[in-house]
A and B are shown apart, each in its own frame.
Chain A
Amino acid sequence: MVTIAAIIYEPGSTNKNKTGSWRTFRPILDNKKCIKCENCYIFCPEGTIYEDKNGDFKINYDYCKGCLICVNECPVNALTSTREEK
C-alpha cells in the first residue's frame, strides 16, 4: 500500500539499497599507514567510511560504489585499490 501523498516516513531508508554491488574497484585501507587525516572520511559521497570503536577508519563495502576518491585523496597512500573479483 502506498502512503498518503507517497510520503516517506522512514528516514534514511535508502540504506536498504546495497550499492556495493556497483563496484568494479575495491579500495583497501591499511590502518597501519593511516594518519587519521579524515580526508577519505569527509570526501566519501556515500558516507561509507566510518570510524570504529578503536578510532580506526573502516570501509563499509555494503555501500562503497568504488569511486576511489578516497584512494586519490589519501596523503600517505594508506588506501590502495584492487579490481573486484566477480
Chain B
Amino acid sequence: MEKIDIITGTTAAAMAAKLSNVEVIAAYPITPQSHCVEALAKYVADGELDAEFVKVESEHSAMATCIGASATGVRTFTATASQGLALMHEMLYIASGMRLPIVMLNTNRALSAPINIWCDQQDSIAERDSGWIQIYAEDNQETLDSVVQAFKIAEDEEVLLPVMVNIDGFILTHTVEPVAIPDEEKVREYLGIYEPKHAYLDPDRPITQGPVGVPECYMETRKDLNDAIEGSREVIKRVNEEYYKLFNRKYGNGLVEGYNLEDADTVLVAMGSVCGTIKYVINELKEKGKNVGLLRIRTYRPFPKEDVVEMLKDANNVAVLDKNISLGFNMGALGIDVSSVLKNKKVCNYIVGLGGRDITPQDIEEIISHVEGAKDGETKWINLKE
C-alpha cells in the first residue's frame, strides 16, 4: 500500500533508490545533495537496504566505482551536484560510452567561481552532450517517481544508457512536501533484477570492456550511442504510461508536460521547480481573464523536438526560461534548443535564477509582458540588481 510521507527531495530520491533495490551505491557528499547519500548510508546501517555502500574519496571515484560495479552487472546509484558533477565529467562520457545503466541524482547547483551553493542548472547543462538521459523533476513526488522510472528506462535493452534525475538545489532538496511512497514489493516487482546481456565481468564468460576504439570503429560506436538516446524517447513515454497504470501518476507524456496550452498566445518554456511558480501565475492570470501556457520540458536529453514543435504550434510569443547561460552566446541552453526547432516563430530567452536568485511571480509576469512586446531573438536577464 502507498503511504504518504512529508519529506524533502533528497529523501525522496534516497527512498526511490531503496525501493529500486540498488546493489552498489558510491557517492561523495556535497551541498545540496548530501542528505540523499546520508539517508542511503543510514538505510544500509539500519539493515533496511541490503546494498554495498562505497565511501569513496571523490566524485570522480564515485562514478568510476559505479562504472566498475555496473560493468560487473549490478544495479548502481550515485548522487552529486555542481562541482562534484563537474569532477565526474570525464567519467560521465565513459559511463554512457560503455552503455552502463547507472542512475544518478543531481541536485542542481551553480558552478564556481565564485563558489555558490545555491540553485541553478548550469551543472547539468554543462553535461548536456555526455550521452546521459536528463530528466528534470518539478517537485518531490516527481523526484521519487523519476528515480524509479530512471532504472526502468536505463536498463531497457533498447536504451542501456545512464540516467540523471535533476532536482533544483534547496528549492526541492531542502523543502518538505507530502510524497506518496509506493509499495516496495510492487516497485521491486516492476523493476525486476538487473541482469545485463551485454556488459558483465564474469570469469565464465570473459569479455573485454573499454578497449581502444580505433578509427575504424569509433564513429560507429558514437552513432550507436546517438541512436540509443534518440530511440529512448519512445521508452521514456512507454515507462511513463506503465508507471501510470501501476502507480497512478504520470508526468505529461514523459518527455514534456503541457499546461493550459489551449488558446494560449503566449507560452513559457521551462524546466524544474520554477514550473510550479509559473503554473501559479498562469492560474492567477486566468482568473483575470488572461490565457498563458506552459510547456514544461521534463526530459531535456533526448530533447523532445517533435513535442516542442507540435505543442507550440499555436503560440505566437514563446518565452524560454533558462537557469544557465551559454557564455559567448548570450542565451541559455534551452533557449538555443527551442529556437533551433521552432521555425518562423518569436522566441525570446530569459536568464533567471542564477546562483539562487529568487524567481518570483512578479518576475514571471514581467517575462510574459516582455515577450508579448519583444522582437524575436531577444535575451533578457531577469531580476538583476543595479
Contact = CB atoms under 8 A, between A and B. Distances in A.
Direct contact of A and B (CB under 8 A): yes
Contacts of B210: 5
A2 B222 CA distance: 10
B208 A5 contact: no
Interface in B219-257: 220-221, 224
Contact of B209 (A1, A2, A5, A11): A5
B151 to A, nearest CB: 19
Interface in B303-324: none
B98 interface: yes
Contact of B208 (A1, A2, A4, A11): A11
The range of chain A's interface size is under 10
A38 B97 CA distance: 43
A9 B208 CA distance: 7
Contacts of B206: 11
Contacts of B224: 2, 4
Interface in B175-219: 198-199, 206-211, 213, 217-218
Given A2-B224, A4-B99, A9 B207 contact: yes
Contacts of A37: none
A76 interface: no
Nearest to B212: A6
Contact of A4 (B198, B211, B218): B198
Contact of A8 (B198, B208, B218): B208
Nearest to B218: A6
B213 A4 contact: no
A7 B208 contact: yes
Interface of A: 1-2, 4-9, 11
Given A8-B207, A8-B208, 14 more contacts: A1-B220, A4-B160, A4-B199, A5-B98, A5-B99, A6-B211, A6-B217, A7-B198, A7-B199, A7-B208, A7-B211, A9-B207, A11-B206, A11-B208
